[in-house]
Amino acid sequence: MALYERAGIWYCDVIVKGRRIRKTTKETNERKAKQVEIALRVKAEQGKLGRPCPTLKESGDEFIASLNQNDRLTTNAKRYYRNGWRLLRQTKLTGMRIDLITNDDVITYGPKLSNRLGAYSINNAIRMLRRLLNRAKESGQLHQVPELHTVQELPRETIFTKEQEEKLLSLAPHPLHDVAGIIFDTGMRPEEVFRMQVRQIDFTAKQIYIEKGKTRTSRRYVPLSDRCMEALRARTLGKGENDWVFPSKRSKSGHIVTVEKQFLAVRRAMGLDDRYVLYCARHTFGTMIGATGNLKVVMQAMGHSDVKTTFRYQHPDLELIRNLVNGKNAPRVSALLNGTFTTHDV
C-alpha cells in the first residue's frame, strides 16, 4: 500500500530502488497526500531523501577496514573477503550506489571469466558483493537485496602427464621450478609452499610440517622426496629457522605469494590451454597416490577432512583401464591372430 490513513492523516509507505520510505505527508486530503507521495518518490530517486546510499567503493572500503576488529571471522574468511573486494574494485560497479546495483549490472560490469579469472574467482567477487548488500539491508539502507547469480564451478579435472611435468620443470625459471617440483612431489597447496619457513623442515626425518591450513587436518606432516630435499637444502643454506624458504622483498608478508606470471609464460611455451593451472600439480599428486588404494593415507597426505573432497582428486587412470581391458582380451586376440578363433569363442 503506497498511501494509508491513520487518525485522519495520510502516510506513504513505498519502496524506491530497494529502499523503503515510510513518511507522513502531513495531509488530511488524499489528493494532496498523493502529490506529496510523488514528490517524495522523485527525491528518493535523486538520492535527496534522507541519508543517500553510499557507493559500492565507500561500502567496501569501510567493510574491509573493519575486518581486523571482527573476531567472529576466521583468518581464511577475512582473506576470502579481501580477495573478493580486490576483484570488485577493478570493475565499474565500484562507482555505483549500492541501492542501484542489480544482477544485470553484475553480469554487465562485474568480473568476467577469462584466462586470468576462473569461476571460483568470479563467485568470490559475487559473494563479497552479496555480503556488502546484506550489510546495507541490516543497516536500513536497503529494503531487499537483489538476487545475484553465481556461475557454475566445475571440478578441476586436468592433471599433468609425466612428460608434461618433466617439460614444465625443464622450462620453469626459479622460483617456479622449485615451487612446482614441491607441489608435484608432496601435494602441498601453492600457498602452503609460499609461506614455508625453515623450521618446518626436518631434514633428518625427511618431512615438512604444515603449520597452517584451511582446516585442522591441513596441519600435517608431509614426506619429502629426494628431489625436494635437494631443492630445500639449497634454499635453506645459511638461513635461520624463522626465515622464509621463498622470501620476497616486495611482498608485505615477507614471502612470495604467487608465481603466476612465470607459470603462464611456461604454459604458453608448452602449448597448453587454460585448463592447466599450477594447482593441477596437486591434483596430479593426488591421482598418483590414489593408486595405492588406501583412502586414509590419501586424505592424510592431502590434508582433507572430508572424504568427498578427496574423491574429487581421484582422477581415473586411463592407462590402467586400458591395460585391464587388454589383459581381458589377450587370449581372444591371440587366438584370432593364430587362426584358432571359433564361433564358440564369441
Structure confidence by residue, pLDDT tens digits, 297-324: 667 766 766 666 666 556 555 556 666 6
The rounded distance, in Å, linking the Cα atoms of 302 and 42 is: 58
Confidence of residue 142 (pLDDT cuts 50, 70, 90): confident
Computed over its alpha carbons, how large is the radius of gyration of the chain? Answer: 29
Closest CA to 296 of 228, 225, 217, 226: 217
Q: pLDDT digit string (tens) for 228-257?
A: 999 999 999 999 999 999 999 988 889 999
Give the pLDDT score at 240: 93
How far apart are alpha carbons 173 and 24 in whole angstroms?
Answer: 70
Q: What is the pLDDT of residues 95-130, one digit of tens each?
A: 998 888 888 889 898 888 775 677 888 999 999 999
C-beta separation of 85 from 135 below 8 A: no
Q: Considering only 42-46, 117-121, 138-142, 201-205, which range has the smallest mean pLDDT?
A: 42-46
Q: Is the pLDDT of residue 91 over 60?
A: yes
Helix (H) or strand (E) holding 22: strand 19-27
- What pLDDT sits at residue 343? 46
Classify 257 as helix, strand or coil: coil
| pLDDT computed for residue 197 by the predictor | 95
Enter the pTM of the model.
0.57
Q: What is the pLDDT of residues 144-158, one digit of tens each?
A: 788 888 887 765 668
pLDDT score at 324: 65
Domain locations in the chain as residue ranges: 3-45, 56-138, 162-315, 318-346
Q: Name the CATH topology of 162-315.
A: hpI Integrase; Chain A (1.10.443)
Instruction: Provide the β-strand partners of residue 16.
Output: 19
If one compares 15 and 284, the residue with the highest pLDDT of the two is: 284
Q: Note the pLDDT of residue 345.
A: 46
d(CA 40, CA 25): 9
171: pLDDT strictly greater than 90 = yes
18 phi-psi bin (left φ>0, alpha ψ -120 to 50, beta other): left
